[in-house]
Structure 1
Amino acid sequence: MAWEWVLAYLALGGVVGLMAGLFGIGGGAIMVPVFTTFFSLQHFPEQHRLHMALATSMAAIIPTSIASLRAHNKRGAVRWDIVKKITLGVLVGTFGSALIAGFIPTLPLAIFFCVFMAYVALQMWLNVKPQPTRQLPNQAGMTLAGLIIGAVSALVAIGGGSLSVPFMTWCNVKMQEAIATSSAIGLPIAVAGTLGHVISGWTVQGLPAYTIGFVFLPAMIVVSSVSVFTAPMGAKLAHTLPVPTLKKLFALVLIGLAAKMLHTLLTQ
């Protein structure tokens, strides 16, 4: 890989890691459109670029999530009780969606997601507080929530934090704890999604060298080599910024990700 591409992927990794640590999002909505553009400029097969972008993004999220999770866990902010209850649903939803992603029309789902994100962002910007009596659901409800978060994450290429953080804050989980816990939830999403994309692309012909399934290893390795260092920086900021400021920043990120996703799908 040429040195200019190494530099480009290093820069992308820096941004992705910071966002992952600060907001608990995997960075897929950032990486997928960038990877797609980069793969086009590198003249990869047109019919496989999007699948490669999805798969490589998921793979790069794995080490990023681990770095973010470790940083948040050192501060005691990860709600492991939530992680245990939601992980099964997340794994099943993500893995299943990754396997069948190519057969499902994503535009209607993406439009719904964008409208939902706009609503959530407005609530956070206005600092609307949930009912004080609202609590996390029982095991069945947590499994269902995990299924939805995992499935939507794989289908529309967003980090699980875009859904899991609003879900947890809606259930009166503290903002910093929701972000920290989302980093832990993002890890099984990334692992299951990567596995699904590797399996679905295993027998595909005509892919570039150093590709496993649909995962382009050079991009994944270079991006994650930087993101593992910037993710703890983002996590430190998440525990330093006042909650109202953090909510407003997160709201802006949600609006930006939703707008970018809708623009990408409508201009394909």
Structure 2
Amino acid sequence: MDSMLQVFIICLFLGAVVGFFAGLLGIGGGLIIVPALLYILPSVGISVTQLTHVAIATSLASIILTSMSSATAHHKRGNVPWHLFKPIMPGIVVGSLASAFVSEQISSDNLQQTFAIFVVLMAIQMAFPLKVKTGDDMPKFAMLFMVSVLIALIAGLMGIGGGVLLVPFLSYCGLQMRQAVGFSSVTGMFIAISGTIGYVIAGFDAPNLPPGAFGFIYLPALGGIIISSILCAPLGVKAASTWPTPVLRKIFACLLVVVGLKLLLS
């Protein structure tokens, strides 16, 4: 079987897992997609020097449609505080665009180790979520801009939507949880779009990328993930109403710790 077709088929299964767990546990797909792609993509000839960049870029691109769907749903429910768009969105765009070019300055091994540490920290947060003490009001424009740049930069470097960082920050600043989650869904869409554009541009001059690569995005893997994740996410949402979600969240967090440690030590 052609290696490109094989990766597409494997990523159909990967996308199904990602979509289901995203619906079941409310997690971003990047924490699953990136480690999986680090094992899948070498089969199509992606070199170790570019492997982590391609895995993260492809993960980020896969978030676009799911975050767009989530943002639309939250907007219809009135959960998006659009008055925060002006102070936060410029920083989101700047940070996510910059992430691709910053990642070029980091070796694939160092980027993988950084991602591994991030996975372990996020797994701990998932198993034992922090109780956020809410504040009274939003910081000034300059502070919101700087924080949004930092969050988007980290999200772009890790191939995630950024909600795991932005929601606690907005909640701490006094925003209601539903509004924090709603606004995070909008920023996740912009992080995914801007970051994807950045990784495409940054990867145009990358040497020895295989057929099927568009910049640092590997299209066969992206297509497989998107198709099945969209179909399986509603199944996860349905299961969340009957399955023991808190228990499953801790089990999944333990799995992420194992994955993160394996990546860190490999």
TM-score norm. by structure 1 comes to 0.77
Residues 33-42 or 114-123, more deviating? 114-123
Are the counterparts in 1 of residues 57 and 159 from structure 2 also a CA contact under 8 Å? no
User: Among 49, 52, 59, which residue is 2:51 paired with?
Assistant: 49
Going from structure 1 to structure 2, the CA distance change for 1:256 and 1:162 (only over 3 Å counts) comes to farther
Are the counterparts in 2 of residues 20 and 68 from structure 1 also a CA contact under 8 Å? no
Going from structure 1 to structure 2, the CA distance change for 1:204 and 1:5 (only over 3 Å counts) comes to closer
Residues 228-237 or 149-158, more deviating? 228-237
Unaligned runs of 5+ in 2: none
Q: Say if 2:128 is the partner of 1:130.
A: no
Aligned to 1:82: 84
Counterparts of 2:31 and 2:184, CA distance in 1 = 16
Going from structure 1 to structure 2, the CA distance change for 1:84 and 1:9 (only over 3 Å counts) comes to farther
Aligned to 2:150: 148
Aligned to 2:227: 225
Are the counterparts in 2 of residues 12 and 223 from structure 1 also a CA contact under 8 Å? yes
Residue 234 of structure 1: how far off its partner (Å): 6.0
1:21-72 deviation per Cα after TM superposition (whole angstroms, max 9, x unaligned) = 5666542221111111111244433332222111111111111211222233
Aligned partner of 1:77: which letter?
N
Are the counterparts in 2 of residues 23 and 179 from structure 1 also a CA contact under 8 Å? no
Q: Say if 2:162 is the partner of 1:164.
A: no
TM-score norm. by structure 2 comes to 0.78
Aligned partner of 2:98: which letter?
G
Going from structure 1 to structure 2, the CA distance change for 1:207 and 1:114 (only over 3 Å counts) comes to same
Partner-residue secondary structure (3-state), 2:83: helix
Are the counterparts in 2 of residues 110 and 156 from structure 1 also a CA contact under 8 Å? no
Residues 31-40 or 163-172, more deviating? 163-172
Are the counterparts in 1 of residues 53 and 103 from structure 2 also a CA contact under 8 Å? no
Aligned to 2:265: 267
| Identity level (%) | 35
Residue 213 of structure 1: how far off its partner (Å): 0.7
Are the counterparts in 2 of residues 153 and 160 from structure 1 also a CA contact under 8 Å? yes
C-alpha RMSD over aligned residues: 3.5
Counterparts of 1:177 and 1:251, CA distance in 2 = 26
Are the counterparts in 2 of residues 98 and 197 from structure 1 also a CA contact under 8 Å? yes
Counterparts of 1:257 and 1:8, CA distance in 2 = 20
